[in-house]
A = this chain, B = another copy of it.
Amino acid sequence: MIQAVVQIHLKHGVADPEGATTAKALRELGFGEVRSVSFIKTYRIELECDDPDLARERVDKMCRMLLANPVIQEYEIKIGNNVDTPD
């Protein structure tokens, strides 16, 4: 079994409503030092597969088909056997 971690974030310049809303809420709670917040989606995927290269290829295809919107998002894939916390 292989574990893959996919991190999906907005391309530079694309509006980040979740990040902006979170930054505003934090400032209203008194965290005036918050300059900006950006939101990143991370998926940890466990795969019945033993070939890291094949796993990377398949996860890349998953990103292109479902997980990421190539128009506004970019993604990074990390493949590992026991990626406890996403790195």
Contact = CB atoms under 8 A, between A and B. Distances in A.
Interface of A: 1, 7, 19, 22-23, 25-26, 29, 31-49, 58, 61-62, 65-67, 76, 85-87
Contacts of A86: 7, 40, 42, 86
A63 to B, nearest CB: 11
Give the copy number.
2
Given A1-B35, A85-B7, A43 B19 contact: yes
Contact of A65 (B7, B29, B65, B85): B29
Contacts of A1: 35
A28 to B, nearest CB: 10
A23 B43 CA distance: 10
